[in-house]
Every structure is written in C-alpha cells, then in structure tokens.
Amino acid sequence: MKTAIIALLSTIVAVVTASASQALLVQTTIIKHDDKGRPDVCSAPSITVESGKQAIIQVGKLEYAVTPTLLDDGTVDISAILTEREGEKSDKLAAPRIKTKLGEAAQIQIGQYTFATKTSLAK
C-alpha cells in the first residue's frame, strides 16, 4: 500500500511539473524614428516572464504590455497592447498579435515607433 501511494504521488508531481509554465526571456527593442526616418533606440529591456503571463515595459508616455505564449509546436504567440498614457488619460494605440519562432524577432510599427520583440527560453 505504501509503495502504491509513493508511486501515485510521484506521478502527480511529474504531471504538475510538466504542466508548469515555461520561463521565457523577452527582449524588446523600442525604436523611435525622427522626421527624416533616422532610428533612435529608446529602450532595449530584457524581461523574464512565464509563458502566458504579461510583462509591461514603460518608456515615457508609452506602455508596451506583451504576453508571450509558448505553443506546443515550439512557436511563440506574442500578444501586445500599446497604450499612450498622460496623467489619468490613456489611449490604446494598437493591440497586435503575432506568431513567430523562438529566437526570431517579431516587429510592429506604429507611427514613428518600431517595436521588435524576440522571445527565447530563459536559462
């Protein structure tokens, strides 16, 4: 009986461990283009986040909320919300969703800003 209980608990632990979210490293480069199209890197943070959880990057008035989800086929579904905040006022500028491969950058351009997000497995 004791052996059966230990085997059952081992199986439960293995299932819980397998279903735990994978930690992902999200590297985002935010570039602002001037009137002549010249790029200027505003920010390039790297954040570790669990698959399916949201990470928020704030640059000045811009808030970039990104949720990377690792899919079973090894690709990453990147869902983002870009908001401009000024005091109590906030304007949702865009909400793109992109599917990409691990380690490959996904880019979106909104007005004079480019957001390049690359997701890889965290170590």
Question: Each residue of 67-104: b (16+ CB within 10 Å) or e?
Answer: bbbbeeeeebbbbbbbbeeeeeeeeeeeebeeebebee
Residue range 42-92, pLDDT digits in tens: 999 999 999 999 999 998 898 999 999 999 999 999 999 999 999 889 999
The residue whose two tokens read 């640059």 is: 59
What's the pTM value of the predicted model, to 2 decimals?
Answer: 0.76
User: 15 versus 53: which is more confidently predicted?
Assistant: 53
Any idea how long the chain is?
123
Let me know if 24 is exposed, middle or buried by CB neighbors in 10 A (0-12, 13-18, 19+).
buried
The Cα 2–Cα 44 span in angstroms is 54
**Ordered structural domains, the chain, with CATH:** 22-121 (2.60.40)
Contacting residues for 67 by C-beta, under 8 A, at least 6 apart = 52, 53, 54, 55, 78, 79, 80
Instruction: Give the pLDDT confidence score for residue 1 in this predicted structure.
Output: 52
Residue range 17-45, pLDDT digits in tens: 344 589 999 999 999 999 998 999 999 99
Q: What percent of the chain has pLDDT over 90?
A: 66
